[in-house]
Chain A
Amino acid sequence: MKTALRLTLVLFVLCLSSLSAMAQEGGIVVRGNAGADPTAFDPLLTNETVTSDIQALIFPDLLSVDPATASIVNGPGPNALASGWELSEDGLTYTFSLRDDLYWTDGEQIDADDVMFVWDFIQSGAVPTHLSFVADEIANVEKIDNFTIAVSFDEVDCDAILSIGALEPYPSHIAPEDLTTMPDQEFNQNLYVSSGPYTFGEVRPAESISLLANPDYVDAELGYVNNDAFVLLNVPDLTVMVERFLAGELSIISGPQEARRAEIYAAEDEGRVQIYTYPGNSWDYLAFNLADPSNPQNAVDEDGNAIDQGMHPVFGSTEVGRDVRRALNMALDVDDIIERATFGEGTRMASHLVPASWAFDPTIEPVPSDPAAAAQMLTDAGWVNSDPDDPSSVRVCQGCATAEDGTEMRFVLNTNEENARRTAIITIAQESWDKIGVKAEIQTLEWGSYLEKLFTQTLDAYVIGWRNGYPDRPDATQLFTPASDVVGGCSNCMSYNNPEFTAINEQARTLPGCSIDERKALYAEAQRIIQADTPYIFMFVRNGFYAAGSEVNGFDPFPSQLLWNVDTWSISQ
């Protein structure tokens, strides 16, 4: 049957229901894709969301991830080249043994050279690549023999294995001599050599990308891929996407608009669709600028000496103004925000770690909502109502630690345009604060100019989000340490700098022996520190949401792993 499919040159169906007439048992999985239209596919050159989705289905990994625990397995796994690793005594060198039974679709064996090529490519710098960060983290990669490679590091890094995962095998035998021509090679448009449950079918720009079941896929759970093809159908309008899913034109969708999910739940009650939800890995937060926004400075100079960054007149600095920030946090009812802004499709966060992270400590409670106590805390901190009888009158500094007496408690709260969820958040925050005399002016900015202002660190307070990688890496070096507080290109744009936090975070990352329990304890401590310092008001992770039509058999996702068993899926007729 699958060979028959391969031989079929043109197969089109007017709608899914008419598939039965074609007697294809497996069926076609159709996934709705609202993302930008990918037109380049080389895994070394691009990692746009949609491209990565495709690469995951047609290329092997180096390491295998257990979808149930979201952790990397030291052992063989489906479509993973390494069958396991050994760590050297000093904890600096990982030696991987590679499988010898994996082949590219053109018959070439997959071996150490295909991994070495990736490393050489990254090091050559011939073409800008999203993988360049790997060169900063890994010291060296060495080929021991055709099926053994050694990866070494300069210092112990307990997350090292996550960086190594980026070295996914690449069909080096088709790469051009001159690496700089790689973007212009046919391979960047048509992944004609692959190895995985699917092979590359056809791209119709801005419309669909088809992947065909790979009859030679050796790691298939059932011994064969149970469906015929996987199609990504481009549907730019999110409202239309949900309609087309409910109409049966799409078999799976992920992450539909929160406002539309009730309809899909209703369809589930009628038995028409299957749903899987989980606390996701993208999260929204409200950040306070902890430096003087009128005079943005880097945290440290070129020699590593601290630079005086001043303090924000309302929010203070990391050490000063904690009470004010905590009070602002307590004045918000984040659960209510989740209800109104995400229709309940969010999971409360207590600190910077997402619930999906292995290091997440569920015993740490979020900051409670208590507007009355918040008002009192602000008064105690030297911000008093200008009219003592009117709790909503603007507060002015009277002995506060961050500004001159008489300064009014006013600031601008920004977020990006085109995001109804974040606009709702700032609207609700403004209103909640207004009731206790904190006057925030809300403003939405176009994405590009918003980021520009964010990078130059001239904002007061802002709402934005992060999306964590998979598997989750609890390290916060990039988000909360002075090293990434650089004007013009920051990820710690609000200038948070607590040496104690930095030290614990570093210790957890480089702990000798990397004991999971000890690292968990360290990360729990880091979470408590950051919650006490309140550089962010931590809000929620958006709930992940996968839905499949009832005709999809085998739909059994794990968090962030919708397609881990897609080779066993079939579509009922």
Chain B
Amino acid sequence: MSSPVGTRLETNNVAGEAQVSPSLLQLALRRLWRDRLSMAAIGMLLFLTLLCFGAPVINFLTGTNSRNIVADSFLPPLTPGHILGTDDIGRDHLARLLEAGQVSLSIGFLAALMALAIGVTVGLLSGFIGGHLDDGVIWFITTLNSIPLLFIILLIAAFLSPNATTLILALGLFGWTGTARLVRGEAIALREREFIISARASGAGNLRLMFAHVLPNQLSIILINLAIDIGIIILVEATLSFLGFGVQPPQPTWGNMLTESRSFMYYGPHLVFWPGFLIFVTVLCLYVLGDGLRDAFDPTTID
């Protein structure tokens, strides 16, 4: 996915992706395991995910929830019963952050997964089968790439009512072109490789070739893109909220909490800090992980 917000681009098409045999995968995993930064990122991401989706348990323990007005507005952090204080209309801030996290993380993960699924499928088919299909796909990708993605997403969000589902669909349906191009390139390269040719000679059909032989070799692209895309999408969600086209309150997301809290710097600085911090940490971890994966899969990396 080319980034709609900033200007991040795939850099992994330069260093020449290598085909990944099972032993290379094991090697990569071993490298990743030794990369402390990446492992810390994975740990943090797991922790945050568990925390957000464990919200019902936490709410049960703290005796609060994200929707009800339970106390005075703008209680400071560490108020008994409200570890992170309360928001502008008196809802528990922690509970809201966790619910928001569920939404933001789900949007990021599901949209990235959808974009990836479409991108890999289209890329494989187009690269492996080629011909008119390939021409059509290339034209379609060029068309989509000619509109800045943020504009498309803005259009969709502005004209359909923006909620988590429409955002996932919009980002998934329009964010797959980058992946598709990479996978297509790889597929074309692999098509002529010996192991594919010999598999074809032994009677393997196109589908089987694609999914049993080519796809596993794309694992590195898939994993790296997934990590980076989730990060980008979480940022896009926040940007859309800032521009007024994101998921609408009272449904909280990290993005719209951050956007709303801009004006609370005087009453409750804690309301500004946490959503921004959580977005930052999550995206940072995802990028670090993406970088780590790239290095782990890079055959030129010296152990």
A contact set with B: CB distance below 8 Å = 238-239, 257, 259-260, 262-263, 266, 339-341, 343, 417-418, 420, 423-424, 426-428, 431, 442, 444-446, 449
Contacts and interface: CB of A to CB of B under 8 A. Distances in A.
Given A257-B263, A262-B267, A340-B90, A420 B249 contact: yes
Interface in B263-303: 263-267
18 contacts: A238-B263, A239-B262, A259-B264, A259-B266, A260-B266, A262-B266, A339-B73, A340-B90, A417-B248, A418-B244, A418-B248, A420-B88, A420-B249, A426-B250, A427-B250, A431-B69, A444-B248, A449-B161
Interface string B65-91: 000110001000000000000001110
Nearest to B263: A259
A257 B88 CA distance: 13
A444 B252 CA distance: 13
A444 B249 contact: yes
Contacts of B249: 420, 423, 444
Main secondary structure of the interface of A (DSSP, over half): helix
Given A445-B161, A449-B161, A340 B266 contact: no
> How many residues of B sit at the interface, in one of the four size bands?
10 to 19
A426 B251 CA distance: 13
A263 B265 CA distance: 9
B138 to A, nearest CB: 36
Interface of B: 68-69, 73, 88-90, 158, 161, 244, 248-250, 260, 262-267
A239 B242 CA distance: 12
Contacts of A442: 250
Contacts of B69: 340, 427-428, 431
B268 to A, nearest CB: 10
Contacts of B161: 417, 445-446, 449
Given A427-B89, A428-B89, A446-B161, 8 more contacts: A239-B262, A239-B263, A340-B69, A417-B161, A418-B244, A420-B260, A424-B88, A446-B158
Contacts of B244: 417-418
A259 B88 CA distance: 9
Contacts of A239: 262-263
Contacts of A259: 88, 263-264, 266-267
A266 B158 CA distance: 38
A445 B267 CA distance: 28
B30 to A, nearest CB: 48
> What are the 6 A-B residue pairs with the smallest beta carbon separation, nearest first?
A259-B263, A340-B89, A263-B266, A239-B262, A417-B248, A444-B248
Contacts of B68: 431
A446 B244 CA distance: 10
Contacts of B266: 259-260, 262-263, 266
Contact of B73 (A340, A420, A431): A340
A442 B89 CA distance: 16
A428 B91 CA distance: 11
Contacts of B265: 263
Contacts of A262: 266-267
A417 B250 CA distance: 10
B74 to A, nearest CB: 9
A259 B68 CA distance: 21
B250 A423 contact: yes
B102 to A, nearest CB: 19
Which among B89, B249, B264 has the greatest number of chain A C-beta atoms within 10 A? B89
A260 B73 CA distance: 15
A445 B161 CA distance: 7
B88 A340 contact: yes
A259 B260 CA distance: 10
A343 B68 CA distance: 19
Nearest to A426: B250
Nearest to A444: B248
Question: Which of B69, B158, B244, B264 has its CB near the most chain A CB atoms (within 10 A)?
Answer: B69
Contacts of B267: 259, 262, 343
Contacts of A340: 69, 73, 88-90
In this complex, which of A262, A442, A444, A449 has the most chain B Cβ atoms within 10 angstroms of its Cβ? A444
